Amino acid sequence: MRQMGLGVSAIGMGYHIAAWRHPDASPGGNMELSHAVRSIQAAERGLFDMYFLADGVGIRMYDEPPGALSRSSKNVQFEPLTLLSALAMVTTRIGLIATASTTWNEPYHIARKFASLDHISGGRAGWNVVTSVTAQEARNFGHEAAPDYADRYDRAAEFLDVVRGLWGSWEDDAFLRDKASGINFDPAKLHVLNHKGRHFTVAGPLNVARTPQGAPVIVQAGASDQGREMAAASADVVYAAAQTLEEARAYYADVKGRMAKYGRRPDSLKIMPGLMAIPGRTRQEAHDRYEILQELIHPIVGLSAIAGSLGDLSAHPLDGPVPEPVNPRMLSRAKILLDMARRDDLTIRQLYLAIAGGNGHRTVIGTPADIADAMEEWFTGGGADGFNILPPWLPGGLEEVVDQVVPELQRRGLFRTAYEGRTLRDLLGADPAPNRHVTARAAAE
Q: How far is the CB of 122 from a copy of itself (least distance, A)?
A: 8
Length of the chain equals: 445
Q: How far is the CB of 433 from a copy of itself (least distance, A)?
A: 18
Give CA–CA dist 416/35, Å, rounded: 26
Identify the three-state secondary structure at position 400.
Answer: helix
Give CA–CA dist 399/402, Å, rounded: 5
Q: How far is the CB of 356 from a copy of itself (least distance, A)?
A: 13
CB nearer to a copy of itself: give 29 or 366.
29
Query: Is 108 within 8 Å of 116 (Cβ atoms)?
Result: no
Residue 252 CB contacts under 8 Å (≥ 6 apart), including other chains:
240, 271, 382, 383, 384
Give CA–CA dist 418/399, Å, rounded: 18
Q: How far is the CB of 374 from a copy of itself (least distance, A)?
A: 31
* DSSP H or E run through 271: strand 270-279
CA 247-131-82 angle, to 5 degrees, is: 110
Torsion of CA 376, 382, 383, 388, to 10 degrees: 60
CB nearer to a copy of itself: give 89 or 442.
89
Query: Is 8 within 8 Å of 391 (Cβ atoms)?
Result: yes
Q: For residue 63, give the DSSP letter.
A: -
Q: How far is the CB of 223 from a copy of itself (least distance, A)?
A: 24
CB nearer to a copy of itself: give 21 or 256.
21
Q: How far is the CB of 334 from a copy of itself (least distance, A)?
A: 24
CB nearer to a copy of itself: give 121 or 243.
121
Q: How far is the CB of 389 from a copy of itself (least distance, A)?
A: 24
CB nearer to a copy of itself: give 190 or 253.
190
CB nearer to a copy of itself: give 86 or 250.
86
How far the first Cα of the chain sits from its last, in Å, is 40
The residues facing 277 across adjacent strands are 364
CB nearer to a copy of itself: give 178 or 225.
178
